[in-house]
Amino acid sequence: MARRPLPRILSNGGAQLARSRELARTAADGATDVLQPLITIARGLRRLASAAGRRWTETPKDRRGALLFLVASVVLVVALVPYGPLLAVVVLMAAAAWQGRDRTPPAPAVPDDSRSRRLQSLYEALVPYFSIAEDPDPLYSHGGGWEKAVPAHEFDDDGRVTHLVIRYPAYFTDGEAESRARIEHLLATKSGRGREYRFTWDEEANHLAVDVLPALPTDIAAQRFVTAPGETVLGFTDPAGVQRTLPLTHGAEQRDVPPVVWRTGVRSTEPHLLVLGQPGTGTSTLLRSIALQALHHGDLLIVDGGGTGEYACLVGRDGVLAVECGLTGALTSLEWAAAETERRLISVNRARQQGLAAPDDTRRPLWVFLDRPTAFTHLAETDGRRDPQTLLQLPLRHGRAANVTVVVADQLDALDGLTDAVRQHTRARVVLGPASVDELTTALGAPPHTTPVDQVPPGRGYARLGTGPVHRLQVPATPDPYDDATSEAHRQAVLDLLPPRTTPADGEQAPLPPEAKAEAAAEAAAEAKAVSMEKRDAPAPAPVTAGEPDGAATDAEPAGPPAAEPAPSDPVPAKAVAAETS
């Protein structure tokens, strides 16, 4: 039997059907576009009506009469007002259009399968670390699915991971630092380099949370921080790390930022600070920032081994006892600081033994800043002179009781060149700039819970106070105002914080207004008397009395210049000596 051809619709019907479907879809899309406003208004009216209905059912029965009366009055007023009904319709349509707008969230920028692929590759990478051959029901196995192992995940708009929760088997050695470090390194690499991640290990639940940390603000300029006496802001950190925030001025706006606050003085458990960093990472800037804050309540002595004049803006300022860049000046000033610490200590102990409060002349904080002391160590060695660091022993050991705070900054690789006393007594630590996990662990005494990155802005690093947690840190921009590369706003911010200059660098008296001259003359006479008194009562290394803190008797440094030392060419600043008696 001859075959009869199929009707046309059935022979090439597939193509025709597809074309008609396409046509119908285009027509429907066009109609939807044209009718979109009507659809929106209808949807809005429906939502308004259901809201009104809900309101009616929620209203208690005894109040419904009042509500009805209110609605009726509104309707009556609208009806009586000229153009009232028209206006009411316009308002109703506008409200319906607003209510009816499409509120479905926009589709994610990254398609789901690309996320899946990323998570699958992460999962595969973790298999060798989170599985053993003996496990009868492994959570991680080659070819397995990531869904059970990664119960929570978030991505940013670029499709990169921002948050992950990873489950791991109970036999994984999460208590061992090396095992953790291996996983953290792997996850940081697989989730995208160049970003900082925080890892939170929940050992009880066998969960690891991975979070990408946002960059810390680098635009905070030096300013007067709202802190109590004895508190110093080292910089700013993540909100999760600390419990308080500081109100800051940022141009015209105000904002609250979580600070890393270091407490000094008699109650401090970390009375001295060590700042380490590669060259150019902002260690001198941090010291300048601390010095500007210290000047509000105390006196300071600066010894700069870097010799680049980064503290020139502080020379002669009220409260700045000396800024020394040379070895001789450094030795003289630090000898004075050691003697002053001893004097304060003896004075405090005497008062305590008599049952009295600490004398006033021991209460004003004295700050000793040493920038790059190891530079002096080499210089002293070649000159056959004393290493200035050795003069820090007394201020470091007994500074807390005597209200003397020591801040030392040096390069990261110079840690071994610092004396034992410096390393033992500087329990507040800061590391700035790029550093490996090992370097950070050595300098801070604990590894950070985040992944250090190679590229960081100046002033970025980590801080740890005593045995506390390691915080990420960004130091406020406190540039040298005499540096040409400094922006005008930052320069002005630093200049605004500087106290008036009362003693010019050349040692001459600063010009005073006529009315202040008589007062200054009287002060000068008193100062001269103080200096002569000081010379008479020269702070001999007095034997330490019974109530002395530990080891003072053995650690006491000779206050006078060492025998091998040539007579210092720069005298101890008169103002510094006067501070002893003031």
Ligand X SMILES: Nc1ncnc2c1ncn2[C@@H]1O[C@H](COP(=O)(O)OP(=O)(O)OP(=O)(O)O)[C@@H](O)[C@H]1O
Interacting residues toward ligand X by CB under 6 A:
218, 277, 279-285, 306, 308, 310, 458-459, 475, 477, 479, 485
| Shortest Cβ 273–ligand X spacing (Å) | 15
Q: Which is nearer to ligand X, 171 or 482 (CB)?
A: 482
Ligand-binding annotation for 319, yes or no, is no
Maximum pairwise Cα distance, the chain: 139
Which C-beta is closer to ligand X: that of 476 or that of 539? 476
Residue 536 CB, nearest approach to ligand X (Å): 41
- Is 347 marked as binding a ligand? no
Residue nearer to ligand X on the CB measure, 493 or 556: 493
Q: Is 277 annotated as a binding residue?
A: yes
Quick one: tokens of 89?
Answer: 């319709």
CB contact burial 260-280 (16+ within 10 A = b; e otherwise): bbbbbbeebebbbbbbbbbee
- Contact status, residue 582 vs residue 530, Cβ threshold 8 Å: yes
Residues 6+ apart with CB under 8 A from 150: 119, 122, 123, 164, 165, 166, 167
- φ/ψ bin of 367: left (φ > 0), alpha (ψ from -120 to 50), beta (otherwise): beta
Find the shortest distance in angstroms from Cβ 489 to ligand X.
12
232 forms beta bridges with 262
Bin 243: left if φ > 0, else alpha if -120 < ψ < 50, else beta. alpha
Q: Is 316 annotated as a binding residue?
A: no
Supply 543's token pair. 């034997």
| CA–CA gap between residue 423 and residue 435 (Å, rounded) | 19
Residue 498 CA to residue 516 CA, distance in Å, equals 21
Q: Which residue is nearest to ligand X (CB)?
A: 459
Considering the complex, state which of residue 161 and residue 493 has its C-beta at the smaller distance from ligand X. 493
CA distances from 182 to 19, 201, 212, 451, 472 (A): 58, 13, 18, 12, 21
Nearer to ligand X, 148 or 250 (CB): 250
Q: 144 or 326, CB closer to ligand X?
A: 326
Is 424 flagged in the annotation as binding?
Answer: no
435: nearest Cα among 452, 413, 460: 452
CB of 312 to ligand X, least distance (A): 13
Q: Is residue 281 marked as binding?
A: yes
Q: Shortest gap between Cβ of 278 and ligand X (angstroms)?
A: 7
459 is in an annotated binding site: no
391 touches 541 (CB < 8 A): no
By C-alpha distance, which of 505, 531, 58, 97 is closest to 302? 505
Least distance to ligand X, CB of residue 285, Å: 3
Of the pair 389, 403, the CB lying nearest ligand X is at 389
Smallest separation (angstroms) from ligand X to the CB of 264: 21
Query: Is 573 labelled a binding residue?
Result: no
What's the closest the beta carbon of residue 569 comes to ligand X, in angstroms? 26
319 vs 481 by CB, closer to ligand X: 481
* Neighbour count for residue 418 (Cβ, 10 Å): 21
Indicate the annotated binding residues for ATP: 277-284
